[in-house]
Structure 1
């Protein structure tokens, strides 16, 4: 929740637009002087993984060490592994069978349930959770449960799956259950027939939550409020809005228990066959369009926070369902991703999971050979690395505020600024120039003239760049002078760190940001060069020191040693 949530979600003391190529901003030196987010959990920027794609990302009988390393990188940057939502359409196809021991899924030859894709069409067993256990230690995991299945044994089925999660997840941390995926679409996909609306959904949700609590959670000493409600594709024009669900009894006590732990929403900036206008990379990089598309969710977020419950985006991405080559897998998309994380944080959204599938160009990495293309890290991953380092820079105290910074002319919709606070005081500025400029073009720049105040006079400021040859680049993105290997996910130095710049005797500083680039301007030290306290209490020296990275992979432990510690993370899903 925000300490104060302005309608526009903005931080600002003063701003003036001069020319199209520059802006002057006065930045609040303390978090108490402006509207800021609550301290971000280090797992804030996470991933969603489609259950049917889980074994592609983490491996089947053989662990996928490439994906595991990318995840571990991000954990080392932020101090905690990214939050994973194990869910999507396929969660409502899964049936758990204890006797099926393979680390894989198989079709259910006896499938008989309703649905365009039957609600009992996939069988998984203990190997499903063995694959989940390969994520870094203490990875928070939201497990999607099958609500679509409605046979006579539906309570037994869903409780069995929940029990298996409780029993088998020990290395990672079972964080919550999501009951059903996008129930607002269930008339269309034939999971339900009329009458079906938010009221009926609420009744079915609470009945399942009650059964799981009584049969599974309570005996295990786990709380009743372990369930994330809503999980809709959209609520616009439906009966699934938060206020409507509350009126239908979603937060009422059932047998003395309240079950809802968070409001869980799904969204995409653009979705094929849903959004009518064709999309271009230039559209994605016009950040005003993101605000326009997300305006409804700003309102829903504020409504949800007023209930005292967190609001999370467990399924989000630039383009759904599987991205678009040349748009969602470009450097321009990494700028969009970094901006979205910061924008969401400034609204009070407490967790964002970017959806990944093995066949999606919008996934942060491709975990294996697919369509003849080898495994590789995509530019989006670098945005995850950036936000993880920004969060880790505050060791659990990082707060984000949006600075009202806009461009005009060619820069209209392309300029964004955010302030990051650690222990309540200004720590860094994130400055984004998303004006599209391709590799072959000469590039201009936009200058941010910043007044940090007298508390920040004569201070060194270190610049970390999220950059590439151009907006359309597929493989030249770097962040903080680091590049991530397409072979093993480890980081190496791509270039030398730039020399710091210095504020004036009044705390003023001017920072030019090239077109199709973002910078993190950190005060007093280079981002990623200080110790980050991990969830297990271990310390890492950001991405600049040597370290041994230990990754638990079920029965074995793999140890990599690298002269440049970095961070990466990734998953995938299928919509």
Structure 2
């Protein structure tokens, strides 16, 4: 394991000051009471068995990484299994291999002129991965893009048997708002140019009735929409329900989110609270409010999310998508979505994605062989899990700090403040050749005797996972996904007169627990 590299500036950086006045009771801008399963995960279907292994040979590294979140919160981890690849799956229960690129002849109800974006055939061995992970619930995507209902029914039947009590819902399709857009490389669309929300709703109502009838499912058992990062009018929840989307079949609605794109600025797009708020509000605020007003019994889920989409070069941008800065964005963004009213977020996993919390196996990515490894965003997820914790009736509120780079959030349990998260989003790199800036944050109004301070840190904002630590611990492939102590875990600071001062460096996050 690589030792942590600590930045030692030649000069002492001058500290700025910031003050947060802590509301002792839950403020008006706080979230509703949150489910402790708020932090979920999502797996691209093509990569599923890489993450799980099989019942007889589980991927120990990956299984332990999944279990990290249950070990911290004690709550079930919800996993959305799907994506563009899953949407084009064909299921062959007689195929011996878990997954192949061999395609059968198109069925009569499939469009013969369409070449599949993801030509994978799935065998029963692929479904065995659904039995590997403990303490999870599955939102399992139905392959809609193929337009093969009979095969989808068969796939759902056998997947439901494999999931057993871990089944949560069937998701209907993936990003249907892009079905009439040109597909990758092929230049052939999944649906005609005229395809819109009414067409999706017609398919949704027909397919959910057929699947529910064949599998003897009653009540709302389906996740609808799964709209892309680019969803815009006329694609919305309101349009879908106005078109007659079967409410009695709908358990949740889902949309996707990626804030940046490979090659863009880390400071400008991710380590930028104003940008995070602006984009998230524009993307979700009205849609979530519509659901709460018109269909309050159907939660809104951000079912696939990550820091950034890739680019056409195929070379992952690890600085943007897998650094300490990515982890800090992960904290800021997830906690902010709590205040918007989302039910859950599912952070995306994929073997070839730099933004994935971890890479489960050795794989060639961007022309380079890369080992199984933890990636930077994992540490942001762990931080969020620690803030959620095990206490009941969690509400989260954003606190103003008076400093443009320092973002604060408070966690209230049963109406009482229990934790404060501080994130300094100022990007600092060792290459700047200047002392690392820091801020002394004064918190006032605390009803506690001491606070325990735990730190998410690394030598600079672009540090990769081998140099990042949370509360003095790292999780690595070498440790098979179990935490290893690499430094000091926490510090206890006395509260005097309801006030405490803490020092936070640029490109760092602190979690304060009231004692």
Q: Name the TM tier (shorter chain).
A: 0.7 to 0.9
1:299 aligns with 286
| 1:71-90 equivalence runs, <5 A | 71-90=66-85
Distance 2:37 2:428 in 1: 32
Distance 1:321 1:62, change over 3 A: farther
How many angstroms apart in 2 are the aligned matches of 1:132 and 1:229? Answer: 21
Distance 1:247 1:125 in 2: 38
Point out 4+ residue stretches in structure 1 off by more than 6 angstroms. Answer: none
1:71 and 1:363 mapped to 2: Cα distance? 13
Gaps of at least 5 residues in structure 1 are 1-18, 253-257, 273-277, 525-575
- Give the counterpart of 2:470 among 479, 487, 497: 479
Query: Aligned pair 1:134/2:125, yes or no?
Result: no
* Deviations 1:472-514 (CA, angstroms, capped at 9, x unpaired): 1112111111111222111111112343112122x12222211
Q: Distance in 1 between matches of 2:409 and 2:22?
A: 10
Counterpart in the other structure of 1:319: 308
Partner of 2:388: 391
Partner of 2:401: 405
Give 1:179-194 correspondences, 5 Å limit: 179-188=172-181, 189=183, 190-194=189-193
Separation in structure 2 between the aligned mates of residue 236 and residue 121 of structure 1, nearest angstrom: 25
Between the aligned partners of 1:436 and 1:95, the Cα distance in structure 2 is 45
The answer to whether the 8 Å contact 2:395/2:412 transfers is yes
Alignment match, 1:267: 257
| Cα deviation code 1:113-149 (max 9, x no counterpart) | 447642793221221221122112x301110101122
**TM-score between the two structures when normalised by the length of structure 1:** 0.78
The residue number in structure 1 matching 2:143 is: 146
Instruction: Note the residue ranges of structure 2 that are not aligned, 5 or more in a row.
Output: 1-13, 184-188
What is the TM-score of this pair, normalised by structure 2?
Answer: 0.87
Q: What is the CA deviation profile of residues 28-84 of structure 1, one whole-angstrom value per residue up to 9, with x for unaligned ones?
A: 2233x4332233323321221111111211126732111011111221011124321
How far residue 390 of structure 1 moved from its aligned partner, in angstroms, is 1.6
Task: List aligned pairs for 1:79-478, cutoff 5 A.
Answer: 79-111=74-106, 113-114=110-111, 117-118=115-116, 121-136=119-134, 138-150=135-147, 154-170=148-164, 173-188=166-181, 189=183, 190-218=189-217, 223-234=218-229, 236-251=231-246, 258-271=248-261, 278-283=263-268, 284-296=270-282, 297-306=284-293, 307-308=295-296, 309-321=298-310, 323-371=316-364, 372-394=369-391, 396-407=392-403, 412=404, 414-440=405-431, 441-453=434-446, 456=447, 459-474=449-464, 475-478=466-469
Greater mean alpha carbon deviation, residues 102-111 or residues 278-287: 102-111
Moved more, 260-269 or 99-108: 99-108
Residue number in structure 2 paired with 1:565: none
Could you list the per-position Cα deviations for residues 190-215 of structure 1 after superposition, in whole angstroms to 9, with x for gaps in the alignment? 11114311111111111111111122
* Residue 496 to residue 194, structure 1, CA distance change in 2 (3 Å): closer
2:63 — aligned with what? 68
- Kindly indicate whether the alpha-carbon contact (under 8 Å) linking 1:95 and 1:123 is maintained by their aligned counterparts in 2: yes
Number of corresponding residues:
476
**Are 2:484 and 1:495 equivalent residues in the alignment?**
no
8 Å Cα contact 2:229/2:258 also seen in 1: no
**What residue number does 1:59 align with?**
53
RMSD: 2.2
Contact 1:433-1:517 at 8 Å conserved across structures: yes
